[in-house]
Chains A and B, each alone.
Chain A
Amino acid sequence: MKIVDRHDEAPGVRTMKLEFQDRADHELFKITFRTGMFGLYGIYGEGESTFCVASPETRKDYIECTFRQSGRVTSALANADVGDLITFRGPYGNRFPIEDFYGKNLLFVSGGIALPPTRSVIWSCLDQREKFGRVTIVYGARTVADLVYKHELDEWQMRDDVELVLTVDPGGESPDWKHKVGFVPTVLEEAAPSPDNCIAVICGPPIMIKFTLISLKKLGFDEKNVYTTLENRMKCGVGKCGRCNVGSVYVCKEGPVFTAAEVARMPAADL
C-alpha cells in the first residue's frame, strides 16, 4: 500500500494514511473490513507488526494506522515517507458488532496509545450519529504531550452531540491544561455515566483495563455490555503460529474484540 499522508500524533507516535495499489485488494478490503479488525503492516527486510485499523468502517477508501515507534519494524515504518510502499495483510479478526449498539448510549474509555482502535469505533458510530443515543468519551494519557489525535479531540470537544472527558496522569499536566488530572478509572467514576441502555467500549494498557473494569462494575455496568480489544503479539494472524492465545482463546481468530464477560472467563494470569 502507498503512504499518502503521515503525521505525528505525540512524541514517537505516528499516523499513516495508506491507499491500496491493487483494485482487487481494495474491493476485498471494502467487503471484509469492519471496525475492530486488525492487520499486519510491514516493510520487506524488516518484518511485520500488528496494529488495528484505526480508520472507521464508514470510510473505506483508505486505511489509517497509528503506531508508536519502538522496535525494528515500527522504526522502519516511521522512516517511510509519503509515496513509499509498505505491505498490509488483513483485515483479520472479529469486530465490534455496532449494529447491536443501535439505539443505545455509548461510553468509550481509552488510555494513551489505545485510542486508535477506540477511534475506529467512535467514528464508525459518529458517521451514523442518528442511530445512537448519548456518546461519552473518556480519554487519558500520561502527559498532555502523549494524547493522540489532538485535532480530533478538539473536534469532539466542539460537538454538542459528544461529551468528551480528557485527563492526564498526575504530574503530566501542562500549565495551560484545562481538563482533568487523574487516572482514567478515577476520572471515569467521577464522570459517572449511567449504565442504563449503555454499551461501554474500553481499550488501554492491561493495568488500565483491569481497574476500568472494576470502576464500570461499581457504576453498575453489566459485563455483557462492556467490550474491549486485546492486542497480543502475533506473527501469522491466522491461528497457526501459536503465541497470541489467552488460555484456550486465540486472539487472532476469536478476537481481538471480546466482551468483559468473555475476558472474565479467560485465565487472568495469561493476559
Chain B
Amino acid sequence: MTRILFSDKLDNCIARWRAAGLTVFGPVKTDTLSSYAAIEQASDFDFESVLPDRSIKDLFFPQTEPMLRYTIKKRAIETEDFTPPNGKRIIFGARPCDASGLAIDDSLFGWDYKDEYWIQRRNESVIVSIACTKADDFCLCSSLNLAPDSSTGSDVLLRPLENNNGWVVEELTDRGREAFLAIAELLQDGSDPIAPIADVPEKFDLDTCVAWLQNPENFESKFWKEISMRCIGCGSCTYLCPTCHCFDIQDEGDTYSGIRRKNWDSCSFALFTMHTSGHNPRATQSARWRQRIMHKFNYFPGTFSVNSCSGCGRCSRQCPVDMGITETLQKISTLQP
C-alpha cells in the first residue's frame, strides 16, 4: 500500500496550501520560454512537457535582484539592505534534475561566506518533484549518476501512476512532511501501479571524461578549439543552466541615490575576465568554453565533491548553434586520457 495523491484533488491541495500560507509554484507554459511560476489553479500546471525551458534557478537566484539601496548625503552615505520577499512557497512539479541542481548550488552558496538570499529562499521553499516518465534526446541525467527519479534536492518525490491520474507520494524531509500534513486527508491509500520512469540512455562515461579533464596536458589540447569553433558566446547555456551561478554586481542610479544589483553573468562573455589593462586570461571563445566544462566537471567537484551539472540538457536543447555539454563530453569520452 502506498499513499496516493490523485490529480482531481490537486485544486483542493492548492487551496489547503494557500490557506496554510504557502504560495504555489509549478511548471507553466507561457508565450515565450516556459518556466516555473506562481499558479492559481491545477489547470495552470504544465506536467506534459519534458521540462520547462527555464530552470528552477530563477526562483532562487533571479536574473537580477537588488542588494542594497544607497542614498548619498552631504556628510554620510546611507544604505539599506534589501531582503528577499518573505514568503513560504511550495514548488509543485519540479523536475528531479532541477531539484538536484539546487542541491548542487547549496554547496557553493552555503560554503564559507553564506549567500543569505539563496539560503532564505531555500529554507522557505518546499520542493515537490515529479519523477520523469518522458524524456527527450537532450536529457542526460543518467550520464551524471542521477536518474529520472532522483530524489536529491527534493522534499517530496511524486511518482506518476500508470493511468496518469495521480502520483505516489514519497515524503523525504521534515519540510516535505509538514507541507503534506496540510493535505493529509486528501491523500488516499492504494496500490495503483506506477508508470515506468523515462528511458534516458547513458550518453558517455563520466569517469573517462573526468580523467581526461584532470590531465593537465589536455588543458591546451586542440580539442577545445575544434569543439567550440561555432560557439557564438551568447551565454544562453549558462543562463538556462540550473547550476551556473556566476554573477556580476552593478550599480543603477546616480550620485545621490540608486540601487546596487546582483545580475547573472556568464563565463561565455569576453568581458567576464577582462583586466583593466586589456589583458584577458580567457581571451578566446575556446578558452571560455573550456572554463565552463572544467568548472562543472573538474574544479567544482574538486571543492564540493559533486559535479556542477544535473543533466537537464537545457544547454544543448536551447543552444542556437547546436553545441552543449553532451556533445563535448561525448567527444571527450572517445579521446585518449
Contacts and interface: CB of A to CB of B under 8 A. Distances in A.
A87 interface: yes
B4 to A, nearest CB: 42
Interface stretch (B240-248, B311-319, B322-330): B240-248
Interface string B266-304: 010000111111010110000100010011001100110
B251 A233 contact: no
Contact of B273 (A47, A232, A239, A240): A232
A85 B76 contact: yes
B254 A45 contact: yes
Contacts of A205: 277, 279
B265 A242 contact: yes
B275 A233 contact: yes
A240 B281 contact: no
Interface centre among A231, A244, A247 (most CB of B within 10 A): A247
Given A45-B255, A270-B281, A239 B72 contact: no
B226 interface: no
A238 B287 contact: no
A47 B249 CA distance: 8
Contact of B77 (A44, A49, A70, A253): A44
B299 to A, nearest CB: 4
B272 A243 contact: yes
Nearest to B266: A242
Contact of B113 (A47, A233, A240): A240
Contacts of B281: 232, 246, 270-271
A236 B147 CA distance: 34
B3 interface: no
B115 A240 contact: yes
A239 B303 CA distance: 11
A74 B258 CA distance: 19
A49 B249 CA distance: 11
A82 B303 CA distance: 44
Contacts of B267: 242-243
B247 A236 contact: yes
Contacts of A87: 77
A97 interface: no
A232 B247 CA distance: 15
B220 interface: yes
B108 A240 contact: yes
B245 A270 contact: no
A241 B77 CA distance: 26
Contacts of B320: none
A47 B264 CA distance: 16
Interface string B197-209: 0000000000000
B246 A44 contact: no
B275 A232 contact: yes
A48 B277 CA distance: 16
Contacts of B254: 45
B258 A68 contact: no
Interface in A228-264: 231-233, 235-236, 238-248, 253
Given A239-B112, A242-B246, A269-B219, A46 B251 contact: yes
Contacts of A220: none
B220 A269 contact: yes
B183 to A, nearest CB: 37
B45 interface: no
Contact of B287 (A71, A233, A270): A270
Nearest to B76: A85
Contacts of B219: 247, 267, 269-270
Contact of A44 (B251, B279, B294, B303): B251
B70 interface: yes
Given A45-B258, A267-B219, A270-B287, A247 B249 contact: no
B69 to A, nearest CB: 10
A139 B267 CA distance: 35
A269 B246 contact: no
Interface in A69-107: 70-71, 74, 85, 87
Given A47-B250, A248-B302, A269-B287, A253 B245 contact: no
A10 B258 CA distance: 33
Interface centre among A45, A47, A236, A244 (most CB of B within 10 A): A45
A46 B254 CA distance: 8
29 contacts: A44-B70, A44-B72, A45-B70, A45-B255, A46-B251, A68-B276, A70-B276, A85-B75, A231-B275, A232-B275, A233-B273, A236-B247, A236-B249, A238-B112, A240-B247, A241-B246, A241-B248, A241-B249, A241-B265, A242-B245, A242-B247, A242-B265, A242-B267, A242-B295, A243-B273, A244-B273, A253-B112, A267-B220, A270-B282
Interface of A: 44-49, 68, 70-71, 74, 85, 87, 205-206, 231-233, 235-236, 238-248, 253, 267, 269-271
Given A70-B277, A232-B281, 7 more contacts: A44-B70, A44-B260, A85-B75, A87-B77, A235-B248, A240-B115, A242-B295
Q: Kindly list the 8 A-B residue pairs having the minimum CB-CB distance in the complex, ordered from nearest.
A: A242-B246, A238-B113, A248-B299, A44-B70, A267-B219, A70-B276, A235-B249, A45-B253
